[in-house]
């Protein structure tokens, strides 16, 4: 399919056949007849599909062979920029790699239908040259006074300026007191200034920045910026963006959690004078539309976004940066399962531009590519301005347990006391939302469980709710046990951050406390406000989930306490140790980032676990080497290939029967192993029963070809779904 888009400007003449890709999970291209006007590759076109009209993209020439009686004609071409060639190649590549239908991938690249509508001419209004004699109300007088003073404005804006409703302005236009005039659309994003004075880089930072600048005009390359937390990776990659700006090209920065990026945006503004274009799920429809168009026009020079920003239609992408490249937030599990870091590298290759990966704890995948010589590595071994890395200590919960009913060991409590007494800030980290992960009846042992999932209901005491973290199902906490009828018999088991906050409020009543989790801060604005309060030292103690780990810089924060360092270690996840090490390093990296040195305490029942030892010794590299060896021995990624198939349906029996059919058709190949079917750990999710296959292949065998054949050979009964995940990260 790639060859079909080789010539971007290729036209398809009137009345011949075009292959159109529709943003629907259908197989392949559909042939349509071209009308009286030619179309070109990448054009957005409206075509009939059954009784509907659908917007699709011209992807190539038609293949023919369709019954002429059934062949439909393209209704019309949309008057907007075509989908660029690089974007089309990217869609094909992602579809091929993830084994998703190309249309399902195209849908991600067409996420803003309104951006394809023609630009409306805007009409402004101003005071008429001669105002006719009309009845003047107070509201009308205010509008005319405002119009006399201000430049021409959109009617809605003029109404707002005058403090009146839109009908007043409309009435004045009709009466001829205001006249209308065409207006240019508002300017798109301001262009960041590469020469705006930024911070003075240290010699080590300068060296890395120079290397990045040098690679800017040399086409595709991948560079890992491997720097400890607080070493200034952001300031350094800003220099690569400056170089792209100077060359007039676009840059894309991928962040794992864009909605929480207020501090990042502030720093960008400090370096470049203006804000970049942001791309995330919280944007208004109008903002999404304007951003999409500005990206397509090439006028949005720097885009900072979540993983979906990869699918925007860049006119001239000259640089991609993946910050915190190890972060599992880059992996999308639903729908088209893809890893944004890996796809960013592919996008860079297709567009012929450099890709920069930044992390303090690079993934094993990236390290392997460095060792193989495919990626370059630049190192920043020290924190900026002489700040030292925090000392990491392990609290052995077997020796220093918290008192009954509490969760903080005396060692950690004392450290918090000392920190607060010194007028500094402390942060307690627990990667679990809510009050308690499990609620059970003291009389009969009944556990409150989600009716739709293999999961317990998590108590959220603030909200007065019991919530399933997998499907969102909620109930009010029951007053009597649904099993034995006992009243007030429920006991909360284990802590979530609400419970830690309760303990902290009890122990340190004077401390100003804040909680931060995805469900306690609603939206980017609230998050930005909270982050500002912590940075300004309006908060003494911060209790949070993994969102507090992400990149923040709090100068007065000197103590980080990890309430349950073992939390991520079990659960059969291939990357459990690696991920725990990364997450805890990142949390630890929040401590002592400015003048005052920081310390970190990890509460654990496994002080001898390799992860705890590596963290305590600050010995990332030998930990990663051991991990690498274990994966290599097991033939697991990144040394072997892995894919997961989750088969699900509303009835367990039917799912099992279908799995048995699948196994009969399964490929049998030297170097390829099929494990399963087995019930997935979440064997029931949203009312669907789930069985899982793992397909493991040697690198030289490859799994795409046999997997594709297998999937094509099975006939999926209605109600049953197969979810394909190449390079799975989640194993639930
Ligand atoms: P990292 O991303 O490696 O954790 P950051 O880029 O966040 O590090 O830098 C840590 C802090 O040090 C930030 O507040 C940043 O503004 C500051 N900083 C880094 N380099 C410099 C520099 N050369 N001059 C001034 N401040 C710097
Ligand atoms: Zn549920």
Does the CB atom of residue 585 touch ligand 1 within 6 A?
Answer: no
Q: Is the CB of 231 under 6 A from ligand 1?
A: yes
For residue 553 and ligand 1, the question of a CB distance below 6 A is answered with: yes
Collapsing DSSP states into helix, strand and coil, what is residue 5? Answer: helix
Ligand 1: residue whose CA is nearest its atom 23: 201
pLDDT, tens digit (0-9, with 9 covering 90-100), for 667-686: 999 999 999 999 999 999 99
Cα separations in angstroms, 600 against 82, 365, 394, 581, 623: 53, 28, 8, 14, 19
Q: What is the DSSP string of 230-299?
A: TS-HHHHHHHHHHHHHHTT-EEEEE-TTGGG-HHHHHHHHHHHSS--EEESTTS-HHHHHHHHHHHHHT-
The reply to whether ligand 1 has any atom less than 6 angstroms from the CB of 233 is yes
Judged by DSSP in three states, 652 sits in helix
SS3 content of the chain, % helix, strand, coil (to 5): 35, 25, 40
- 597 within ligand 1 shell (Cβ under 6 A): no
The Å distance, Cα 558 to ligand 1 centre, comes to 17
Asked whether the beta carbons of 679 and 692 are under 8 A apart, the reply is yes
Question: What's the CA gap between 357 and 326, in Å, rounded?
Answer: 9
Ligand nearest to the CA of 201: 1
Ligand of minimum distance to the alpha carbon of 358: 1
Q: What is the whole-number distance in angstroms between the Cα of residue 329 and the centre of ligand 1?
A: 23
570 alpha-carbon distance from chain centroid: 25
Q: Which residue's alpha carbon is at the smallest distance from atom 11 of ligand 1?
A: 230
Ligand 1 nearest atom to the CA of residue 380, by list position: 3
Q: What is the number of the ligand closest to the CA of 227? A: 1
CA 459 to centroid of ligand 2, rounded, Å: 13
Distance of CA 196 from the midpoint of ligand 1 (Å): 17
Q: Is the CB of 235 under 6 A from ligand 1?
A: yes
Going by alpha carbons, the residue nearest to atom 6 of ligand 1 is 232
Using CA atoms, how far apart are residues 647 and 643, in angstroms rounded to an integer? 13
Length of the chain counted residue by residue: 732
User: Cα of 153 to ligand 2 centre, how many Å?
Assistant: 51
Answer whether 387's CB lies under 8 Å from 227's CB. Answer: no
Question: What is the whole-number distance in angstroms between the Cα of residue 267 and the centre of ligand 1?
Answer: 9
Q: Which two tokens stand for residue 634?
A: 């097991």
The full DSSP string for 345-414 is HHHHHHHT-EEEEEESS--HHHHHHHHTTSSEEEEE-S-GGGPPPPEEEEEETTTSPPPTT--S-HHHHH
Segment holding 429, helix H or strand E: strand 425-429
Instruction: Give the whole-angstrom CA distance, residue 593 versus residue 393.
Output: 17
| Beta strand spans in 481-567 (E) | 490-493, 513-516, 541-544, 557-562
- The DSSP code sequence of 264-283 is HHHHHHHHHSS--EEESTTS
Q: Which of 210, 384, 556 to mutate to test the pocket of ligand 1 (most atoms within 8 A of CB)?
A: 384
CA dist 234 → 192, 199, 326, 532 (Å)? 16, 11, 15, 19
Nearest to 208 by CA among 241, 244, 237, 246: 237
Give dist(CA 601, CA 578) in Å, integer: 19
H or E segment to which residue 17 belongs: strand 17-21
Counts for the chain of helices (H) and strands (E), in that order: 19, 33
Contact 291, 285 (CB under 8 A): no
- Tell me the C-alpha distance between 375 and 220, whole Å: 11
**Is any atom of ligand 1 closer than 6 Å to the C-beta of 361?**
no
Give the pair of three-digit tokens for residue 676.
Answer: 């399963």
Measure the CA–CA gap between 389 and 381, rounded to whole angstroms: 10
Residue 553 near residue 264, CB atoms below 8 Å: no
Among 230, 322, 534, say which to mutate for ligand 1: greatest number of ligand atoms within 8 Å of CB: 230
Element (H or E) spanning 147, and its range?
helix 138-149
CA distance linking residue 535 with residue 551, whole number of Å: 13
> In whole angstroms, what separates CA 74 from the centre of its chain?
36
Ligand 1: residue of 227, 228, 235, 380 to mutate (most ligand atoms within 8 A of CB) is 235
Q: At 173, which helix (H) or strand (E)? A: helix 166-174
Nearest ligand, CA of residue 458? 2
**CA 276-279-280 angle, 5° bins:** 140
What is the CB-side half-sphere exposure of residue 202 using CA atoms within 13 A?
13
DSSP lists the bridge partners of residue 224 as 357, 377
Q: Quick one: which ligand is closest to 453's CA?
A: 2
Q: Which residues pair with 657 in a beta bridge?
A: none
The ligand minimizing its distance to the Cα of 203 is: 1
Provide the pLDDT for residue 423.
Answer: 95
Which atom of ligand 1 has the smallest separation from the CA of 589?
4
Nearest Cα residue to atom 17 of ligand 1 = 232
Ligand 1: does its nearest atom lie under 6 Å from the Cβ of 276? no
Nearest in space to 463 (alpha carbons), one of 527, 519, 541, 529: 519
Among 232, 380, 389, 594, the mutation site with the greatest number of ligand 1 atoms within 8 A of its Cβ is 232
Q: Are the CB atoms for 205 and 379 separated by under 8 Å?
A: no
| Residue 498 DSSP SS3 | helix
Q: Which residues of the chain have pLDDT under 50?
A: 1-8
Strand (E) or helix (H) holding 344? helix 340-351
Helices (H), 536-604: 576-588
Strands 438-441 and 302-305: unpaired
For 255, counting Cβ atoms within 10 Å of its Cβ (0-12 exposed, 13-18 middle, 19+ buried), the class is buried
**CA 442 – ligand 2 centroid, Å:** 23
Q: Which residues is 466 bridged to in the sheet?
A: 459, 475
Atom of ligand 1 nearest to the CA of 387: 12
CB-based contact 408:400 (threshold 8 Å)? no
């Amino acid at each position: 399919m790639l060859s079909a888009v080789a010539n971007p400007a290729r036209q398809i003449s009137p009345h011949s056949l075009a292959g159109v890709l529709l943003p629907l999970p259908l197989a392949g291209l559909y042939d349509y007849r071209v009308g009286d006007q030619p179309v070109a590759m990448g054009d957005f076109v409206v075509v009939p599909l059954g009784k509907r009209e659908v917007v699709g993209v011209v992807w190539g020439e038609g293949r023919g062979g369709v019954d002429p009686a059934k062949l439909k004609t393209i209704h019309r071409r949309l008057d907007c920029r075509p989908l660029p060639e690089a974007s089309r190649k990217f869609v094909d590549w992602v579809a091929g790699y993830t084994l998703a239908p190309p249309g399902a991938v195209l849908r991600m690249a067409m996420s803003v239908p309104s951006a394809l509508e023609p630009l409306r001419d805007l009409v402004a209004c101003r005071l008429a040259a001669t105002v006719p004699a009309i009845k003047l109300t107070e509201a009308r007088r205010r509008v005319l006074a405002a119009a006399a003073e201000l430049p021409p404005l959109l009617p809605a804006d003029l109404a707002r300026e005058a403090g009146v409703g839109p009908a007043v302005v409309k009435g004045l236009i009709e009466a001829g007191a205001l006249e209308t005039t065409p207006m240019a659309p508002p300017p798109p994003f301001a262009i960041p200034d590469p020469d705006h004075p930024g911070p003075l880089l240290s010699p080590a930072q300068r060296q890395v920045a120079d290397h990045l600048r040098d690679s800017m005009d040399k086409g595709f390359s991948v560079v890992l910026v491997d720097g400890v937390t607080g070493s200034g990776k952001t300031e350094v990659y800003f220099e690569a963006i400056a170089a792209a700006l100077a060359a007039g090209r676009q840059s894309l920065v991928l962040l794992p959690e864009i909605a929480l990026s207020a501090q990042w945006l502030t720093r960008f503004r400090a370096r470049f004078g203006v804000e970049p274009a942001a791309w995330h799920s919280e944007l208004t429809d109008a903002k999404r539309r304007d951003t999409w168009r500005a990206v397509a026009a090439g006028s949005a020079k720097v885009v900072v976004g979540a993983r979906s920003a990869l699918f925007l239609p860049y006119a001239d992408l000259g640089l991609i940066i993946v910050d915190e490249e190890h972060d599992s937030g880059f992996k999308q599990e639903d729908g088209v399962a893809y890893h944004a870091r890996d796809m960013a590298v592919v996008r860079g290759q297709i567009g012929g531009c450099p890709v920069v990966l930044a992390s303090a704890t690079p993934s094993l995948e990236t390290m392997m590519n460095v060792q193989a010589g495919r990626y370059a590595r630049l190192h920043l071994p020290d924190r900026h301005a002489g700040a030292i890395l925090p000392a990491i200590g392990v609290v052995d919960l077997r020796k220093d347990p918290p008192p009954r009913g509490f969760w903080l060991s005396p060692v950690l409590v004392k450290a918090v006391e000392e920190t607060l007494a010194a007028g500094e800030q402390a942060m307690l980290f627990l990667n679990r939302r809510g009050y308690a992960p499990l609620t059970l009846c003291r009389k009969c042992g009944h556990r409150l469980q989600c009716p739709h999932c293999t999961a317990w209901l998590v108590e959220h005491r603030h909200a007065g709710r019991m919530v399933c973290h997998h499907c969102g199902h909620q109930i009010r906490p029951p007053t009597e046990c649904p099993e034995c009828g006992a009243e007030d018999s429920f006991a909360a088991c284990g802590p979530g951050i609400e419970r830690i906050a309760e303990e902290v409020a009890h122990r340190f009543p004077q401390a100003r406390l804040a909680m931060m989790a995805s469900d306690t801060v609603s939206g980017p604005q609230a998050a930005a406000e909270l982050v500002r309060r912590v940075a300004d030292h309006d908060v003494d103690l911060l209790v949070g989930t993994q969102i507090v780990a992400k990149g923040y810089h709090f100068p007065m924060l000197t103590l980080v306490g990890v309430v349950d360092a073992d939390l991520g270690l079990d659960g059969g996840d291939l990357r459990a140790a690696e991920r725990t090490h990364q997450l805890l390093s990142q949390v630890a990296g929040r401590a002592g980032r400015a003048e005052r040195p920081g310390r970190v305490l990890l509460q654990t029942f496994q002080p001898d676990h390799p992860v705890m030892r590596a963290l305590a010794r600050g010995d990332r590299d030998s930990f990663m080497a051991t991990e690498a060896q274990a994966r290599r021995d097991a033939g697991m990624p990144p040394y072997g290939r892995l894919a997961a198939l989750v088969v699900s349906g509303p009835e367990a029996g039917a799912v099992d029967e279908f799995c048995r059919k699948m196994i009969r058709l399964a490929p049998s190949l030297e170097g390829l192993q099929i494990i399963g079917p087995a019930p997935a750990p979440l064997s029931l999710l949203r009312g669907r029963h789930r069985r899982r296959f793992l397909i493991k292949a040697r690198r030289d065998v490859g799994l795409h070809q046999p997997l594709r054949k297998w999937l094509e050979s099975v006939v999926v009964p209605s109600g049953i779904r197969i979810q394909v995940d190449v390079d799975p990260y989640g194993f639930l």
